[in-house]
Structure 1
């Protein structure tokens, strides 16, 4: 039993969530004169170690869940399937600072930050018998969960307010933005301190909590994003040298119930079927499946990045790539990550998405069917077919494959290319029973290796919410995002090979402003001290 399941059976999760309702700003002290009926009052809370446990448990609710899929849909590798969805306006470049998508991302992140700040400001009030080591651990967990939110805010919005403690309403209206460097300094400091106070692993009811390695893994990610390559490589190397983690042997099962809490996962958001749930099956499954919505769908641009089974890119004359049968003889992760024509579906039917297939999944058959003819396969577990909106499947937020590729990329950027770099890349390429690509040649130069590790990140981590940060920091978004969205290759009714073109306007990415989202206008209206990002 992991700790989310334990938490539910010990005490209703929503009970302790109410405690943290005063987050970004301080509460009105007059509200504490009487005991409220819908939340816990400070007059009766923060009395025991059990209170601290309930409060820190509540912080995990603010980790990302199904939100990660929408981030990839704002890049080249996936597409917002319905043109009237709010995310579609970001694809088309027609959004601005009034976008509800941007505001919700901002406010949800600061909700998590505010809750962590509230915990850290109050946990010291506990008196009497308590395990000091355990309290220190709880503080470490809160610091990591707060740093997680700042990593996201930094790459999406750039300079943002750095809030380290609860604010009054007036303070919230006057706070200014910290520089990006200050934010990354804070993230580094927090994660270093937290790592020193957190255990290396948990057992029984505590499985799923933040470990020392999760803190170091997020530090490696943050420092990679910040261009602090030496620090990133060091943090990743500590995880590698611990020998506590390994690649799960079957990529095909990695995102299913069968692989939960395996030794590749450093951090996930845990769920409990029918009780504390997510709706990924409902969100991503093909239309023909129970309530499948195809909300975000893969693109041809992504499928073209996968190498052939010979380890060559498809534009190489010797690759063996067949443009009339593009999924044949390819990197196995293509078919393990994406529903392709002829694949069996959870309900036992066969996936046939061609416009002329006559099936429920045929492109154009309904506005809900995939407009590219591809559907995301990760996290689509047959077990969720009967109840697609009440899945208990954990969503992975950080895993060992990312750590390996982070280490390799950081070392490449430092020019410190040695056997450990090739080993990290080749583990990802060939370290599983069902993923066996040729090893990368040790004769590649820095530029070639850079392209190799970027390609590996794209295909290995597809649909895990990391692509947007990658193309922003690589400054490649202006090259890969703009243009039409294409999908499957199929035989039309004339027997000709055709490629699906998604029925949407061309995507837009303006390098002068789209590398950062605008600060939400609502926030600027409340606090004129906030400065808008360039050209918004």
Structure 2
């Protein structure tokens, strides 16, 4: 056959069922011409590289990064039109699970685009320095897509060529092999990529992004020395800083709104990636749909403004803060910035999910309202209520500087340097920006206590950003927090937290996602993950 290759998920990983892939055999992308005719000018290469960036996920639409926290103890997801997240937390997901299929296929489709560019860019007439940069960007993106597959599925095929039908049946590489491949590519590319670009190219892969991805990857695999090296590279670059608004008390809240969108804290972000916010976390009274609802578990994680945890209070005080989580505005300001509580006001709506009157669109149990009694406030901006084709949508931050600072501090603790001055220095930078007091060695006087502090900080600082799901898995707390009853707000009639659902997630089985059924049926060399 000729070299009119398939540009689709099907050939990316050997999903070659005749009916499903036939249409891709007759037309190419992005130009519907042969590779021999397409790759000529710098404009051709630029368009090819642009298509490699298309796979970067959004926050609340498409791949829905934030929804990953509905697979953790922070959020509950409803409405199956956004994905069968409920099946996963009940442990009944199978190889036909929609989210597994979507992410697996989407990543390999984009990996194929990257490989196509890398195999053909040598033919393009363009300046060598620009060609070299495009190659580094593409390799870093390919590593990122492999990394995401690895963190969800375990060992997967490493694909470094634009597969043709003849060589599309690939075996799984081991976890270690995929880890070493992705990490090596990220670190190598980081050394050659620019530290920053002009504003027009601000979404392109930088050295900081490559190091930030390497940090996340190394942390997941407990390679703390590598994670320390990569995170320190970002810190020492001087390119990033924690965002602070003109009114410092609003810094954390503004960071997730249009007011603070242009900032030096964001490292890796999706341009206009916050689309669909109102149809995922808005309330019905304002025309939204509350597909995601915060749990009592995350609400109870926030400290008081004086630095005490709820667990340090008397039984009566704990009960008070369960009934009224932000009683007298005494809690960590990040709670108010991230969660809408009973009695809070958003736009023209005062929220009371326990008001069962028919005119209350936000009542508990309403089809599109909260299921826990809480709403997500982070990422919700009133300007998103009505979007028109000319309205700019808020960007979504995938990795930001605060995470890197906490990651660096965590590496020091896990390497036995829990009392290193840098640990509390960087943790307190994050806490102080949010309006919280500095933590001290007087209170956190052991490795175990310092570890607990950093885990708590990551949980509240990065809540609803799609990070916590990976954290609880790498921390080994997965089974503990993902089995049992999920609670919401306190019902004023009963005085008890409402019971939202019972989760029976099998940690051993659910740790890895299932390889999609279509891949299993079409690729005889593919092996399924245990339990599926």
The alignment's TM-score, normalised by the length of structure 2, stands at 0.88
Q: Take 2:26 and 2:54, find their aligned partners in 1: how far apart are those partners?
A: 28
Q: Take 1:516 and 1:32, find their aligned partners in 2: how far apart are those partners?
A: 32
Partner of 1:381: 381
- 1:71 deviates by 0.6
Aligned-residue Cα RMSD (Å) equals 2.8
Partner of 1:143: 139
Partner of 1:44: 37
Q: Take 1:86 and 1:36, find their aligned partners in 2: how far apart are those partners?
A: 31
Q: Take 2:157 and 2:496, find their aligned partners in 1: how far apart are those partners?
A: 50
- Provide the aligned length of Structure 1 versus Structure 2: 502
Partner of 1:451: 452
Partner of 1:281: 278
Partner of 1:113: 111
Q: Take 2:514 and 2:483, find their aligned partners in 1: how far apart are those partners?
A: 19
Q: Take 2:52 and 2:30, find their aligned partners in 1: how far apart are those partners?
A: 21
The one of 149, 153, 158 equivalent to 2:149 is 153
Map Cα deviations across residues 69-112 of structure 1 (whole Å, 9 max, x no partner): 21100111100123785111111111111212211111111112
SS of equivalent to 1:44: helix
Q: Take 1:278 and 1:135, find their aligned partners in 2: how far apart are those partners?
A: 32
- 1:395 deviates by 0.8
Change (3 A) 1:485 1:388: farther
- 1:447 deviates by 1.1
- 1:121 deviates by 1.4
Partner of 1:165: 161
The alignment's TM-score, normalised by the length of structure 1, stands at 0.87
Change (3 A) 1:19 1:393: farther
SS of equivalent to 2:138: helix
Partner of 1:325: 324
8 A contact 2:139–2:189 mirrored in 1 = yes
Map residues 1-400 of structure 1 onto 2, 5 A cutoff: 21=8, 24=12, 39-65=32-58, 66=60, 67-82=64-79, 86-127=84-125, 130-173=126-169, 175-249=170-244, 250-271=251-272, 278-290=275-287, 292-317=288-313, 321=318, 322=320, 323-328=322-327, 329-346=330-347, 348-356=348-356, 359-364=360-365, 366-387=366-387, 392-400=393-401
Map Cα deviations across residues 7-51 of structure 1 (whole Å, 9 max, x no partner): xxxxxxxxxxx99658726999x9999999973542432101121
Partner of 1:488: 489
- 1:437 deviates by 3.1
8 A contact 2:154–2:175 mirrored in 1 = yes
Q: Take 2:372 and 2:94, find their aligned partners in 1: how far apart are those partners?
A: 27
Change (3 A) 1:377 1:37: closer
8 A contact 2:307–2:436 mirrored in 1 = no
- 1:278 deviates by 2.3
Q: Which runs of 5+ in 1 are unaligned?
A: 1-17
Q: Take 1:261 and 1:145, find their aligned partners in 2: how far apart are those partners?
A: 23
Q: Take 1:35 and 1:513, find their aligned partners in 2: how far apart are those partners?
A: 39
- 1:446 deviates by 0.9
8 A contact 1:25–1:114 mirrored in 2 = no
Change (3 A) 1:91 1:212: same
Map Cα deviations across residues 209-239 of structure 1 (whole Å, 9 max, x no partner): 1111111111111111111100100110111
Change (3 A) 1:295 1:248: same
Partner of 1:9: none
The one of 429, 432, 451 equivalent to 2:431 is 429
Partner of 2:466: 465
SS of equivalent to 1:484: strand
Map Cα deviations across residues 353-406 of structure 1 (whole Å, 9 max, x no partner): 224476211112x22111101111121111111228976211111100110111
- 1:325 deviates by 1.9
SS of equivalent to 1:500: strand
Change (3 A) 1:344 1:34: closer
- 1:285 deviates by 1.0
Map residues 477-516 of structure 1 onto 2, 5 A cutoff: 477-492=478-493, 497-502=495-500, 504=501, 506-516=502-512
Q: Take 1:266 and 1:37, find their aligned partners in 2: how far apart are those partners?
A: 29
Q: Take 1:122 and 1:195, find their aligned partners in 2: how far apart are those partners?
A: 22
- Does 204-213 or 80-89 show the bigger shift? 80-89
8 A contact 1:69–1:296 mirrored in 2 = no
SS of equivalent to 2:159: coil
Q: Take 2:174 and 2:355, find their aligned partners in 1: how far apart are those partners?
A: 50
- 1:242 deviates by 1.6
8 A contact 1:82–1:88 mirrored in 2 = no
- Does 412-421 or 317-326 show the bigger shift? 317-326
Q: Take 1:132 and 1:484, find their aligned partners in 2: how far apart are those partners?
A: 59
- 1:490 deviates by 4.1
Q: Take 2:218 and 2:435, find their aligned partners in 1: how far apart are those partners?
A: 29
8 A contact 2:277–2:384 mirrored in 1 = no
Q: Which runs of 5+ in 2 are unaligned?
A: 245-250
